[in-house]
Amino acid sequence: MEPKFVSPSVIEASNRAAARVRERLGGAKPRYYIETYGCQMNEHDSETFAGQLTQMGYVPAASKQEADLIMFNTCCIREHAELRTFGNVGFVKELKEQNPALITVVCGCMMQQKGVARRLAQRFPFVDMVLGTNELAQFPQFLERVMDGERVLEIKDTDGEIPEGLPIKRNEGFSTFVNIMYGCNNFCSYCIVPYVRGRERSRRAEDIVREVEQAVNDGFTEVTLLGQNVNSYSGFGVTFPELLRMVDKVEGLKRLRFMTSHPKDLSHELVLAMAECKKVCPHIHLPVQSGNNRILALMNRRYTREHYLSLVRDLREFVPWVEITTDIIVGFPTETEEEFEDTVSLVREVGYSAAYSFAYSVREGTKAAAMDGQVPEEVKKSRLQRLNAAINESVVGANDRYIGTRGEILIEGCDRRGEPMMFGKLPSLKMVYVKGDESMIGEYKNVLITGTRFNSLCGEIE
Ligand code: 5AD
Ligand code: SF4
C-alpha cells in the first residue's frame, strides 16, 4: 500500500497559523525549552517542533526556569522512561505558579499509549496541550487555541501519514539526522513502538536527497539516515541500498550513517552498498536482542543466532574495519540461565564495539506482557550485571588492533577532565582522543592511533 502524505493544504494551513501566532506575539520573543526523551526519532521530531516555534517567533531558552513554553517529548520504550517523565512534568507545577503565562506541552510516544494522555491531563491540570505522534503538522493551530484559553488534547488513533515540508531547526553541530521512514511493522513481542508509531511508511527518495542537500548547505557534513528498520525502506520502489547510493552522491557530504538495521532484512546488497559507497561509514547498529534461538522465536525476531552470525561474517568479509554495535534484552519471559549464557557467548563471539543492554520491561498491550514465566527483577538485574561485564571485556579487548593504524576523525569537542584533550570519531564510530585546541572543532583531521584509553583510542594528529 502506498503511504499517505499529510495533504499540502494542511501544511499550508499550518504555515498560516504560524504566521498568525507570530503577528499576535507582536515582536515579543518568548522562549521555548524542549526536553526530549528516548531515541533519535524523538530528537528529530523535537527539531521539527523547534523549527515551527522558530517560525512563530520563539527563541530557545537556556533552562526550563527561563522558558515561556516548555515541551516534553516523551518516550515509552521502557517503564523507566515513563516514570521519569511523570516526575519531570510534575515539577513544572512550581514554575507555573511563578509564571502563570507559562505554556506546557506534552507530546510523543508515551501520549499515544492507551489512556496515558488522559491520565496525565487529569493528574496535571496545568498542562495546556497534549499531542500524539501524528499531530506535528498542526502544532501551530493547537498553540493558537491554547493562546485563546483552550486546553488542547489531540491524539489521533491512526497509522499516521508522512508530513513533508515542515520547518526544522537542527541541533547545533556538524552531524545531523534525516528521517527516511516512520513507524514499524515488526511487532517484536516485547516492543511498544508499532503501537505508538503506527505502520511503516517510507518517504520519497527525492525528498530525502533534498533534505540531505539542505542539511549540507546548512553546514552539516555528517548525516545519519533514521528509521526503526531501515532495511525495509521502500520509497516508491527504491530500496534502502539504492537510497544509500543516491545519498552517497550528495556533494559536500563527508560521512553517511544509518540506523537501525533489523537482522531479518539485512541483505547482501546492503553490505555491498556499504563496501562500495565512499561516504557510507563502516559501522552498523544491528540489534541482536538475544543469542538464544528459543528466546528469539518468542521475541518474534524472525532470525536465528546462526543467521545473525552469518550476517556478521558477511559484513566483516566485505566491509573492511566494520564496527558492529547492538541492543540486548535480558530477562525476557521464561529465559533460563542457560539461555542467558547463550547471549553472553554471542557477545564474546561477535566482539561488538558497543552494546546497549536492557532488562526486559513489561509494556502493557504487547504479546510478551501477557506471557507466563516473567523473570523476577533481581534475576534480571544479576543477568544485566554479568552481561555488562562481558560486554566491557570484549570491547576493551578489541581496541588494541587499532594501534599503529591511521584514520580520519571529525573533531567534536574538548574533554576537560584532567589534561584537556580534543576528541572525535573515526568513520567506524570509534572515539579517538588527541592533543589540539578548540579551533579544530568541526574539522576533519588525519590521525595515527598510538594507544587505547578505556574503551576509546588515543592518537596524534598527523
Ligand atoms: N524492555 C526492554 N528493552 C526494550 N527495548 C525495546 N522494548 C523493550 C522492552 N520492553 C530495547 C530493545 C531495542 C531498544 C531500542 O530498546 O533492545 O532494540
Ligand atoms: Fe520495536 Fe522490533 Fe520494531 Fe525495533 S523492529 S521498533 S524492536 S517492534
Q: Could you give the CA distance from residue 421 to residue 415 in angstroms, rounded to a whole number?
A: 5
User: What is the reported pLDDT for 48?
Assistant: 96
Based on the fold, state whether residues 31 and 46 are members of the same structural domain.
yes
Question: For residue 3, is it within any domain?
Answer: no
Q: Which long-range contacts (CB under 8 A, 24 or more apart) does 203-211 make?
A: 203/162, 203/164, 203/179, 203/235, 204/164, 204/235, 204/236, 205/235, 205/236, 205/238, 205/242, 205/243, 205/246, 207/164, 208/178, 208/180, 208/235, 208/243, 208/247, 209/246, 209/247, 209/250, 211/178
Determine which residue's CA is closest to atom 5 belonging to ligand 2. Answer: 186
Atom of ligand 1 nearest to the CA of 191: 7
Atom of ligand 2 nearest to the CA of 192: 1
CA 358–ligand 1 middle distance (angstroms): 7
CA 302–ligand 2 middle distance (angstroms): 12
Question: For residue 414, is it within any domain?
Answer: yes
* Ligand 1 probe mutation, 41, 83, 262, 327, most atoms within 8 A of CB: 327
CA 446–ligand 2 middle distance (angstroms): 37
Residue listed under C-alpha cell 525502506? 233
What radius of gyration do the chain's Cα atoms show? 23
Cβ-contact 120, 130 below 8 angstroms: yes
Report the CATH number at residue 362. 3.30.750.200
pLDDT averaged per 10 residues in sequence order, the chain, 462 residues: 81 94 94 94 95 97 96 92 86 92 95 89 94 91 96 82 91 95 95 92 96 97 96 94 98 97 96 97 98 98 98 97 97 98 97 95 96 98 97 87 96 90 95 94 96 91 94
Based on the fold, state whether residues 241 and 365 are members of the same structural domain.
no
Based on the fold, state whether residues 232 and 295 are members of the same structural domain.
no
Based on the fold, state whether residues 294 and 197 are members of the same structural domain.
no
CA 39–ligand 1 middle distance (angstroms): 11
CA 64–ligand 1 middle distance (angstroms): 29
CA 119–ligand 2 middle distance (angstroms): 26
Q: Could you give the CA distance from residue 393 to residue 379 in angstroms, rounded to a whole number?
A: 21
Burial of 442 (0-12, 13-18, 19+ CB in 10 A): middle
Tell me which DSSP letter residue 331 carries.
Answer: -
Question: For residue 161, is it within any domain?
Answer: no
Sign of the torsion formed by the C-alpha atoms of 94, 97, 103 and 105:
positive
- Taking the CA of 375 as reference, the closest ligand is 1
Please state, as a whole number, how many other Cβ atoms lie within 10 Å of the Cβ of residue 353. 20
Based on the fold, state whether residues 247 and 327 are members of the same structural domain.
no
Q: Among 232, 251, 281, where does a domain finish?
A: 281
Q: Among 281, 309, 340, where does a domain finish?
A: 281
Based on the fold, state whether residues 150 and 40 are members of the same structural domain.
yes
Query: Angle, to 10 degrees, between the axis of helix 139-147 and the axis of helix 8-25?
Result: 40
Under 8 Å CB-to-CB from 32, ≥6 apart: which residues? 50, 53, 58, 59, 60, 61, 67, 68, 69, 70, 71
Instruction: Give one word for 302, left, alpha or beta, with left for phi > 0 and alpha for psi -120 to 50.
Output: left
Based on the fold, state whether residues 364 and 446 are members of the same structural domain.
no
Based on the fold, state whether residues 384 and 443 are members of the same structural domain.
no
- Taking the CA of 193 as reference, the closest ligand is 2
Cβ-contact 21, 57 below 8 angstroms: yes
- Taking the CA of 288 as reference, the closest ligand is 1
* Ligand 2 probe mutation, 232, 262, 361, most atoms within 8 A of CB: 262
Question: For residue 160, is it within any domain?
Answer: no
**Model pTM score:** 0.94
Question: For residue 197, is it within any domain?
Answer: yes
Cβ–ligand 2 distance for 186 under 6 Å, the answer yes
Q: Among 154, 184, 200, where does a domain finish?
A: 154
Residue among 141, 177, 164 at smallest CA distance from 43: 177
Question: For residue 164, is it within any domain?
Answer: no
Question: For residue 324, is it within any domain?
Answer: yes
Report the CATH number at residue 197. 3.30.750.210
Cβ–ligand 2 distance for 18 under 6 Å, the answer no
Question: For residue 378, is it within any domain?
Answer: yes
Q: How many domains does the chain have?
A: 4
Report the CATH number at residue 441. 2.40.50
Instruction: Give one word for 160, left, alpha or beta, with left for phi > 0 and alpha for psi -120 to 50.
Output: left
Cβ-contact 273, 246 below 8 angstroms: no
DSSP strand E in 21-121: where?
Answer: 31-36, 59-60, 69-74, 103-108
User: What is the reported pLDDT for 1?
Assistant: 60
Based on the fold, state whether residues 137 and 22 are members of the same structural domain.
yes
Cβ–ligand 2 distance for 235 under 6 Å, the answer no
CA 329–ligand 1 middle distance (angstroms): 6
CA 8–ligand 1 middle distance (angstroms): 35
Name all residues whose Cβ lies below 6 A of ligand 1.
77-78, 190-191, 287, 289, 327, 329, 358, 360-361, 363
Based on the fold, state whether residues 94 and 216 are members of the same structural domain.
no
- Taking the CA of 286 as reference, the closest ligand is 1
Based on the fold, state whether residues 306 and 272 are members of the same structural domain.
no
Based on the fold, state whether residues 84 and 69 are members of the same structural domain.
yes
Determine which residue's CA is closest to atom 4 belonging to ligand 2. Answer: 228
Q: How many helices (H) and strands (E) does the chain have?
A: 13, 21
Report pLDDT digits (tens) over 295-340: 999 999 999 999 999 999 999 999 989 999 999 999 999 999 999 9
Write phi, then psi, for 316 (nearest 5 degrees). -65, -30
Range of the domain at 418: 403-461
